[in-house]
A and B are shown apart, each in its own frame.
Chain A
């Protein structure tokens, strides 16, 4: 099963990189959202995939009877999902505000902070 998921993760990364190379901010943000999800799946796959066996220990034992799903990557992914989702939400609002103020979502035209024809420093002493 890892092979299939790995290929899927590769596809996700491909799409994410393709979208992030766009010059429109909205597409870049979609790329970031997909990138975040592909990273989450990567962590999850790295914890070895198992099917439908929750990591529960019966009352009379100290260790699980069979191989179970690994709970740690699930905890990691849960943290990572929360973080990447909140950052995506923040960036989406930020991009919308930037679009309102700058009248463009094209990154090449967002030149307020770095004006295109910037003054050169004074020459000579």
Chain B
């Protein structure tokens, strides 16, 4: 201990001021879910108590992320550095308006899914860890939204990925094993591409702190040089794979329809959006120069993704697979926003459209998968040919499904309308007419696909072969499963949000505009992480 006698001034290397109590909220979502996941795992044999504990924890997550969002809106971007070492050496966790918004919406969706799972996940599913995996999945999702370090982004991605594997094969069916193999292998390849790009970034800049990289890229003479272009292309490929954009989307319709319906709902809501979030973060905040030359490629990918998703949905008989393609179509819309963001004048509008669309898509896709689960409980099948006459069973549910169908197609007065207006406006303002046209055409085809589901499952008299015009009692219904609030309440919450964002979009537009301007003009973000010298 020879060095211990030397007095060292730590102020040069460490943050000496204590952290304000409210800033601890940044780590609260990850902490609650991580500790909660462990707690639920310990309770795995007590399948009655486990859902209750899980729901309390998910409720706490919603409260914590709401408090975080309110604090970010009040105080601007907030940062917390691990171990108090000054960035870029200390690992920073940062919440800006974009990250906090997505964390909050993600928590709401996870809460609804946990509630829905109380009825739809049987005791064997609980025993094999539905609630622990759900909570740990949220650890990864919230961590990804709140980290300010690229390597940590990779680690959080892995946390959510390994939990998603667990959820995907919960039940151990043949079809699940098949889906999980494809999902697992392709996501691991995508993750490795992400890691390659991250390794190259470290080689170029010697840092992995996002704000630090942003400063160093801005100071470069030629920020669109060959090496950075390679990095940008690798990041785009990796995150496009996570988000299921066109050429690398085929794992999604192969796997999302295999697990328990509530697992599909969470996946469809959250996982692909984490990829989109990472794309926005990397391309708009860190590599804006690379976005300029990638914009045409991204725009093209967006157009093809929009069309693949919508046309793929039209070709499906199985409701869950149809919805899987609609997830892909939604990703196309968000990528369209990213492509337009290369134009400085339209960047804020485009990115805020993409953020609003992500929020809308998180809510509406989860709600649609839950609705599909209820359809199969009522009608006994996910197959459009074997469904029918559900309007007679529950007219209110038919109405709710129609609301969700309108919302996912982007028809007013529901939540899908406003982000599409913003995105189409931005695309036309940037002279990308094909992009705007693709968004509209995809919305039209989605309307057809969803209209067909509604007509066949709800409107006609009974399954295929029943003479039309007479009401038929459909078999396969399990009324016991459908009674109680655990099934209807989460669907009701999400539908209420869809209607609210449709009728009162100002709040969400303001929020997403704040999130977007925080990424497009990252001064506040950089100041928050690096201090005033940044």
Contact = CB atoms under 8 A, between A and B. Distances in A.
A94 interface: yes
A102 B180 CA distance: 13
Give the interface size class of chain A. Answer: 35 or more
Given A46-B200, A47-B202, A121-B384, A98 B192 contact: no
B316 A97 contact: no
A121 B195 contact: no
Given A83-B158, A113-B178, A122-B464, A46 B199 contact: yes
A121 B317 contact: yes
Contacts of B315: 120-121
Contacts of B253: 114
A122 B181 contact: no
A90 interface: yes
A125 B454 CA distance: 11
A73 B206 CA distance: 10
Interface string A12-43: 00000000100001001100100110010011
Contacts of A114: 253-254
B255 A113 contact: yes
B456 A122 contact: yes
Interface in A76-101: 76, 79-80, 83-84, 86-87, 90-91, 94-95, 97-98, 101
Interface residues of B, number: 49
B20 interface: no
A60 to B, nearest CB: 8
Contacts of B188: 32, 87, 91
A112 B192 contact: no
B175 A112 contact: yes
Contacts of B316: 121
A47 B344 CA distance: 35
B452 interface: yes
A62 B321 CA distance: 61
Contacts, number: 119
A119 interface: yes
B214 interface: no
A97 B177 contact: yes
A75 to B, nearest CB: 9
Contact of B192 (A45, A60, A84, A86): A84
A38 B256 CA distance: 30
A98 B178 contact: yes
Given A47-B202, A83-B155, A113-B257, A119 B174 contact: no
A95 B254 CA distance: 16
A83 B158 CA distance: 7
A112 B174 contact: yes
14 contacts: A32-B185, A35-B192, A39-B196, A39-B199, A43-B202, A47-B203, A73-B202, A76-B208, A87-B162, A94-B165, A102-B178, A114-B254, A121-B385, A122-B384
Interface of B: 2-3, 151, 154-155, 158, 161-162, 165, 169, 172, 174-175, 177-182, 184-185, 188-189, 191-192, 195-196, 198-200, 202-203, 208, 253-255, 257-258, 314-317, 383-385, 452, 455-456, 464
